[in-house]
Amino acid sequence: MVPLKLIWRNLLRHKLRVLLTAGSLTVAFFLLCVLQALVVSLDQGVKNASKKRLVVQSAVSLFVNLPISYQGKIETVEGVDETMKMTWFGGYYREPANMFAQFAIDADRMETIYSNVELIEGSWDEFKNTRMSCLVGKETANKYGWSVGDRVPIVGMIYPRLDGSEWQFDIAGIYDAGAEASIDDLTMYFHWDYLEEAMEAGATTGADGIGVYSVLLSDGYSQAGVGAEIDSLFENGPQRVQSTPEGEFNAQFVSMVGNVPFFVGTIGMGVLIAILLATLNTMLMSGREQTRDVGVLKALGFDGSAAFWLLLSQSLILCGLGAGTGIFLALGIEGPLQAVLGSNFPGLQINREVLTPAIILAICVALFAGLAPALRARRLTVIEALREEV
Amino acid sequence: MALVPLSYNLRSLRVRKSSTLLTIISVGATVAIFAGVLSLQQGFETLFSDSGRADVSVFLRPGAVSEGESGIPPEKCEIIKKSLPEVQVVDGMPLASAESFLAVRRRKLDGGETNVPIRGVEQMTFTIREGEVALSEGRAFAPGSDEVIVGEKLVGRIQGCALGETIWLNTVPFKVVGVFSHDGPFASEIWCDIRRMSDALDRPWYSRVVAVLNPDADINALKERMSEHKEIPAKVMDERTYYEDQTQALSGVLRGLGTFLAVIMGMAAAFTATNTMLAALSTRSHEIGILLSVGFRPTAIFLSFLFEAVLLSLAGGLVGVLVAFAINGAETGTTNFRTFTEIAFAFRVTPTVLSQAVFFSLLLGLLGGAWPAWRASRMKPVEALRRT
Amino acid sequence: MQESQHGVELIRVSREYTRGGEGVKVFDDVDLSVKPGAFCAMMGPSGSGKSTLLNLVGGLDRPDSGDVIVGDTRLSELGESDLAEWRSENVGFVFQGFNLVPVLTAFENVELPLLLTGLSKAERKEHAMHALELVGMGDRAKHRPGQLSGGQEQRVAIARAIASDPGVILADEPTGDLDFESACQVLDLLGRLHTELGKTILMVTHDPRAAERAERVIHLDKGRINESPAAPDDGFREVKPKEGEGA
């Protein structure tokens, strides 16, 4: 009813102001999408994690290892298909800033337990058969320009070599975690036997025992059930254990990095308040400037709802374009985001769960900012409108 | 130079009430959140810095960044305690104590899990901490017993941390016999006998030694000596420095967060201020024309507009600070990155926070008002008067 | 465009405003009768209610008591949105400040009232261009108000006022912001609307020369209506202040 031309051109009357508002909307919604993606990935990391794998860890502390003898005992529990040692190595490549995850594992079992992992270079056999070898995730391999056959030096922090030298590993394969949600493409896996050998030879020192055991369940068994079995097996020690579904196990590390929900919530709220007020201010100003136009329209015979929609549409268009651009940009940055944050936030995606709240929010902002001026326009009488000095 | 009277600014603000209000709210929200995050950081930092003692030294394994990753065999701890001349001796006993530290999993009363520090201490720790640590309920644990005392901040938050309850360390039950208070981080810890902790957790090595040094001791020399020591190599620092190290990471993150938020929200707030001032500009252009033709200098116009913007932003800053004050002293907690343990503390609106908040709102006003003020001052009287 | 059937009748109309807490009676029980097709000028000092009278006739304001009848329609019988619709069909406004929409071209401004009719795009274009040519602004159809002079703007405003062929034209100080030459052009136009198109025109003005162009001059003062003593007698009914006789 109200000509689109009028809506569009009135919106653009003050280009700088509209540009700034749209710009802040873009920045705000881009941020909100990224933040929401972080939160969603944490949730999904837990939800989508394998239902067939458990992590058996110390019930006492993250920093307490489990005895080696536990592995055999765990394997006797009904429902356990395969187990694998996993000990956090915690070293870095050349400089402390180049820290990334390394695990000492049962090399012969990884393929079974993490069956969805693919080797894009090298072979499983090579990895299994060579004690000094390792598998490296494709992201880390790319970052440092490593390929199969390279010998890479790693400085051990938790297991320092007593002669001050670096640990040497030969890359037997480069992997892509693919569908495996709980593994990222940044980690190095090597032989636990290699570590144990060095400890027995006195070449290194460090805590005894195994960090955690990764357990693959047989079909038809639940994580909760088997987990409880395992826990009760070691109730009387020497070390009590806590068996957790893999997704939850991973999630606990993220919350240690910081209270992510808190940070995300604060940033999100701050950004939202700022953008609401800024957009409202713009729409109010714009609305006031159009008072005369509203008067003319009503004098000509357009009714209150025409005036209402004249203003509300502008808010919807402004927010649609501004927020839309921000959301679009967030989609575009999905790739780089995964590369940078993927290790802490596995399965990071800009997907429907991220976009839907963002779009709803954009509409809410549009309504919040546009309602006041729209209602004012609707109520305005011709006499008031044409008399007012803007 | 004659300045434009204040009444012009006040009138201008009154005329456009909703824009004025919006700008104040916008700046206020920005400052409130900025001050809030800073208060969080200040609360966290002062918890440690206020309680760090310059006369207490901490001995860790060389290369360890915190006691969480430090391990020293008990025998070596003994040697450190007894063989160093810098350590103060009172009544024949060196004021030095070995301690063990582990972040243990505990369930929270409101659901979920967290990591709580357990500190195994020798009796000498109580002597060293006399005046700092005091029992508020119950009694201290008996040496060599399976008893613990819990810090005040754990009561009501962590499962099992109340007088009379039982805490399981691995397979061994420990009874909570007392609650203690401390102005610093110890209030979020559980304390027990160091040997019993070792046994229960099967951790033979201790984490650190704390010692009160003689007043004239040269800690730097001690540091040097200990780093090269053949028998008992150790990393030495005074407690104050130790705490600084501990808090750096999180402090840095919180300050970063606060700054980041301030910038994003600040831009929106400054932009709102700019809009408001631009509207003021167009409404008052006639008035400006008159002022200019009467003889006021462009600089006076510039200052008048800038002043109005700053008035708005300072008003917003005041609102923001008042909101921040509302949370001053509110209890909260966060994770200490170094030890992965949860620390409870209160928001502290310190003078630092206040001054930064005020400065920030001032900055917003200047940034937001600069351009409109400049445009106002560049108006030509003829032009301005023509616009009716 | 047909002969107007729209006469205007005010019967015992009262209108009061509150100013600074006090009630100010703009009209108190006044009558007015304007024949269909008449060109009537209204003069008076400021505050005498000239604009209020126009607003009442145009349905932009409602009297506190009394009736306003335009053509066959008793305005008090219409609800707000009906009034708006009625206005779009029956009244054309010409304002002192022109009040063209600055972001629309002259053509688009004239087309505005036509959007409320059921006409197709092509028909609207035809009517709008016709109106523009009538006022001599056909070649400036694509210009925005900012690119036109005051006189040109007012002519576009007049085109807008007649675009949907209303019976009544209400002009509030149409020459107030114009220079002499433009003012004459506008008054000529208004005159032609009266003589050639038979529209009923009520024009508020404080310019006696503008008032001369009208057939009839009404004076308003302190809410009372007086006929100009030198008004030609052509059968219009006399207006009696404070007398309430129906039309």
Across all residues in chain B, what is the average pLDDT?
88
**Sheet strands (E) in chain C:** 8-19, 22-34, 39-43, 65-70, 73-74, 91-94, 168-172, 200-204, 216-221, 224-227
Note whether residue C17 is domain-resident: no
Instruction: Look at residue B126 and tell me whether its pLDDT is greater than 80.
Output: yes
Interface of B with A in 105-124 (CB under 8 A): 105, 113, 115
Note whether residue C204 is domain-resident: yes
Predicted pLDDT of residue C242: 44
Instruction: Look at residue C12 and tell me whether its pLDDT is greater than 50.
Output: yes
Predicted pLDDT of residue B252: 84
Predicted pLDDT of residue C246: 43
Domain that holds residue C86: 35-51+80-229
- As given in the structure block, the two tokens for residue B206 are 């201790």
Instruction: Collect all residues of chain C within an 8 Å Cβ-Cβ radius of residue A381.
Output: 60
CA closest to B113 among chain A residues: A252
- As given in the structure block, the two tokens for residue A31 are 């941020």
Note whether residue C245 is domain-resident: no
CA closest to C51 among chain A residues: A383
d(CA B48, CA B103): 18
Q: Give exposure, A51-84, as e/b (b: 16+ Cβ within 10 Å).
A: ebbbbbbbbbbbbbbbeeebbeebeebebbbebb
Instruction: Look at residue C244 and tell me whether its pLDDT is greater than 70.
Output: no
Interface of B with A in 2-21 (CB under 8 A): 18-19
The ipTM value here is: 0.84
The per-residue pLDDT for range B42-97, each reduced to its tens digit, is 888 888 888 888 899 999 998 888 898 888 999 999 999 999 999 999 998 999 99
Instruction: Collect all residues of chain A within an 8 Å Cβ-Cβ radius of residue C99.
Output: 292, 295-296, 299, 386
The per-residue pLDDT for range C140-160, each reduced to its tens digit, is 899 999 999 989 999 999 999
- As given in the structure block, the two tokens for residue A109 are 């079992």
d(CA A240, CA A57): 9
The secondary structure of chain B in percent helix, strand, coil, rounded to multiples of 5, reads 55, 20, 25
Tokens 């489990």 correspond to A66
Predicted pLDDT of residue B47: 85
- As given in the structure block, the two tokens for residue A106 are 């049962």
- Nearest chain C Cα distance for residue A137, angstroms: 59
Among the partner residues B36, B171, B261, nearest to A267 by beta-carbon distance:
B261
- Nearest chain B Cα distance for residue A339, angstroms: 21
Interface membership of A251 toward B (CB under 8 Å) = no
Instruction: Look at residue C109 and tell me whether its pLDDT is greater than 60.
Output: yes
Instruction: Collect all residues of chain A within an 8 Å Cβ-Cβ radius of residue C88.
Output: 300-302
Predicted pLDDT of residue C240: 46
Instruction: Look at residue C236 and tell me whether its pLDDT is greater than 50.
Output: no
Give the pLDDT band of residue A260 (cuts 50, 70, 90): low
- Nearest chain A Cα distance for residue C212, angstroms: 28
- Nearest chain A Cα distance for residue C88, angstroms: 4
Pairing assessment for the beta strands B341-346 and C8-19 based on DSSP bridges: unpaired
Instruction: Collect all residues of chain C within an 8 Å Cβ-Cβ radius of residue A383.
Output: 55, 60-61
Range with the poorest average pLDDT among A9-13, B92-96, C36-40, C230-234: C230-234
Instruction: Collect all residues of chain B within an 8 Å Cβ-Cβ radius of residue A161.
Output: none
Q: Do B272 and A20 touch (CB under 8 A)?
A: no
> For residue A284, what are the contacts with CB-CB under 8 A and spacing of at least 6?
A372, A373, B18, B19, B22
- As given in the structure block, the two tokens for residue B151 are 């810090």
Instruction: Look at residue A220 and tell me whether its pLDDT is greater than 80.
Output: yes
Interface membership of A27 toward B (CB under 8 Å) = yes
- As given in the structure block, the two tokens for residue B92 are 């024949």
- As given in the structure block, the two tokens for residue C236 are 């219009």
Instruction: Look at residue C1 and tell me whether its pLDDT is greater than 50.
Output: no
Residue range A274-287: mean pLDDT, rounded: 88
Q: Do B260 and A267 touch (CB under 8 A)?
A: yes
- As given in the structure block, the two tokens for residue B33 are 């959140």
Give the pLDDT band of residue B196 (cuts 50, 70, 90): very high
Q: By three-state DSSP, how is residue A149 classified?
A: coil
Which of A108, A177, A182, A194 lies closest to A140 in space, CA to CA?
Answer: A177
Range with the poorest average pLDDT among A216-225, B64-73, B338-347: B338-347
Across all residues in chain C, what is the average pLDDT?
84
To test the contact with chain C by mutation, choose from A7, A300, A310, A382 the residue with the greatest count of C C-beta atoms within 10 A, namely: A300
Q: Calculate the dihedral angle through the C-alpha atoms of C161, C165, C166, C172, rounding to the nearest 10 degrees.
A: 20
Q: Do C93 and A300 touch (CB under 8 A)?
A: yes
Instruction: Quote the number of domains for chain C.
Output: 1
Among the partner residues B18, B105, B260, nearest to A284 by beta-carbon distance:
B18
Range with the poorest average pLDDT among A317-331, B322-336, C186-200: B322-336
Which of C14, C91, C23, C15 lies closest to C57 in space, CA to CA?
Answer: C91
Note whether residue C240 is domain-resident: no
Domain spans in chain A, listed from the N-terminal domain onward: 4-46+259-387, 65-238
Instruction: Look at residue B123 and tell me whether its pLDDT is greater than 70.
Output: yes
Instruction: Look at residue A345 and tell me whether its pLDDT is greater than 80.
Output: no
Which residues pair with residue A242 across a beta bridge?
A57
- As given in the structure block, the two tokens for residue B382 are 């003829």
Which of B238, C46, B377, B338 lies closest to A63 in space, CA to CA?
Answer: B338
Range with the poorest average pLDDT among A214-228, A354-368, B291-305, C91-105: B291-305
Cβ pair A1, A302 in contact under 8 A: yes
Q: Do A62 and B103 touch (CB under 8 A)?
A: yes
Domain spans in chain B, listed from the N-terminal domain onward: 6-49+247-386, 56-214
> For residue B319, what are the contacts with CB-CB under 8 A and spacing of at least 6?
B24, B25, B27, B28, B31, B32
Note whether residue C30 is domain-resident: no
Instruction: Look at residue C243 and tell me whether its pLDDT is greater than 70.
Output: no
Range with the poorest average pLDDT among B131-140, C19-28, C92-101: C19-28
Predicted pLDDT of residue A258: 58
- Nearest chain A Cα distance for residue B204, angstroms: 11
Which of A62, A48, A53 lies closest to A242 in space, CA to CA?
Answer: A62
- Nearest chain A Cα distance for residue B314, angstroms: 17
CATH of the domain at C212: 3.40.50.300
> For residue B224, what are the contacts with CB-CB under 8 A and spacing of at least 6?
none
Which of A353, A354, A276, A352 lies closest to A318 in space, CA to CA?
Answer: A276
Predicted pLDDT of residue C26: 82
Among the partner residues C60, C80, C115, nearest to A299 by beta-carbon distance:
C60
H or E element in which residue A206 lies:
none
Cβ pair A210, A71 in contact under 8 A: yes
